[in-house]
A and B are shown apart, each in its own frame.
Chain A
Amino acid sequence: MEDTQWPVWEVFVQGNPGIPHKHVGNVHAPDAEMAIQNARDVYTRRSEGISIWVVPSNAISASSPEDQGAFFEPSNDKPYRHPTFYKIPDGVKYL
């Protein structure tokens, strides 16, 4: 049998109820079940989590760092999407 290091799984841990899972690192494992067990042993030894997701690394698609400027540019020129864009007179309340 070939001695492999197995596929890489990205690990996401939810720290507390109600907050999103957050990427914490990765593990190598032969399948999802063992990836979750390895992730528990590596990333939650000190009560860091209540839930773990593992995702095969090669299943993740990412935006390209080189295109960062152009890719996110459309959001930069629309300041009117932010509430602070609008001038409200001092006397107006709850707005």
Chain B
Amino acid sequence: MLPEGNWITRAPNLRRKAILLAKVQDEGGHGLYLYSAAETLGVDRTELLSQLHTGKAKYSSIFNYPTLSWADIGAIGWLVDGAAIMNQTVLARGSYGPYSRAMVRICKEESFHNRQGYEIMMTLAQGTPEQKAMAQDALNRWWWPAVMMLGPSDDKSPNSDQLMRWKVKLESNDAIRERFIDRTVPQAEFIGLKVPDKDMKFNEKTGHYTHGEINWDEFFEVIKGNGPCNAKRLKDRVEADKKGRWVREAATAYAAKQAKEREIA
């Protein structure tokens, strides 16, 4: 199981547990859509998974931060999935069909994750002082990683030029980040929480928020594999693959048996 999977059995009630399971199932599907899109370029899925397990393939920087409390599940849905939607609704208009079609489906499902996360945060924020503090603590820890996951600033983004030339990427990281911040800061205020950025200010002239300095050194360290949980994440992923092997072998054996029975009949 992946690190944050421990919250499934620790969900505060059955409703939240069922919802979290549904979300996990969606996310498994999103991985599958993206691998499918990559396979259309001629690479085998086995090869892609091996690249992931050996640390050669990159994955989003956001998956290298720990989930310390139940509120983190709320913060992830609200902020991380919220940022992902902001990015993916643009990617859904991109030029490569298999990828953009995957993004259309992903965005539809992420909207549910986004709202379920906000609902968790709202419930905690309206609860006891301890619960509200838990929500604020999760926001404090997830805000900057969420702001950073939209990618390096435009002057430090090595892949943007090529992807924009191909029209796979239609808007710059900073443009999408601005939209994410503009929409999310008022959502935090509405439930009485505060984003951990003392320089965050609404600029009446531009109609946008200006944010404080982003710690890009941290971002690039995480990308390089030196984030708080990179090693743990990769180890758990390899372990999950190993533990799932008997299921794949059983399915293969069952298919072979069925084929044989059809032959006899």
- The residues of A with any CB-CB pair to B shorter than 8 Å are 1, 3-6, 8, 25-31, 33-34, 41-42, 45-46
Contact = CB atoms under 8 A, between A and B. Distances in A.
Given A27-B32, A30-B254, A30-B255, A3 B26 contact: no
Nearest to A35: B255
B264 interface: no
Given A4-B46, A45-B25, A33 B252 contact: no
B239 to A, nearest CB: 15
Given A31-B258, A31-B259, A33-B258, A4 B252 contact: yes
B45 interface: yes
Contacts of A5: 44-46, 49
Interface residues of B, number: 27
Given A4-B252, A5-B46, A45-B26, A25 B33 contact: yes
Nearest to B251: A30
A46 B49 CA distance: 28
Given A1-B249, A3-B248, A28 B45 contact: yes
Contact of A42 (B29, B101, B253, B259): B29
19 contacts: A3-B245, A3-B248, A3-B249, A4-B248, A4-B252, A5-B46, A5-B49, A6-B248, A8-B39, A25-B33, A25-B36, A28-B45, A29-B251, A30-B251, A30-B254, A34-B255, A42-B32, A45-B22, A45-B26
A53 B62 CA distance: 37
A27 B39 CA distance: 11
Contacts of B25: 41, 45
Contacts of A29: 251
Given A31-B259, A42-B32, A6 B39 contact: no
Contacts of B255: 30-31, 33-34
A1 B252 contact: yes
Contacts of A45: 22, 25-26, 29
Given A1-B252, A30-B251, 14 more contacts: A1-B253, A3-B245, A3-B249, A4-B248, A5-B49, A6-B251, A25-B36, A25-B102, A29-B251, A30-B256, A31-B258, A31-B259, A41-B29, A46-B109
A65 B248 CA distance: 36
A28 B44 CA distance: 11
A42 B30 CA distance: 9
A8 B249 CA distance: 17
Contacts of B33: 25
Contacts of A8: 39
Nearest to A31: B255
Nearest to A3: B245
B4 to A, nearest CB: 21
A1 B105 CA distance: 35
Contacts of A30: 251-252, 254-256
Nearest to A2: B252
Contacts of B102: 25
A7 to B, nearest CB: 10
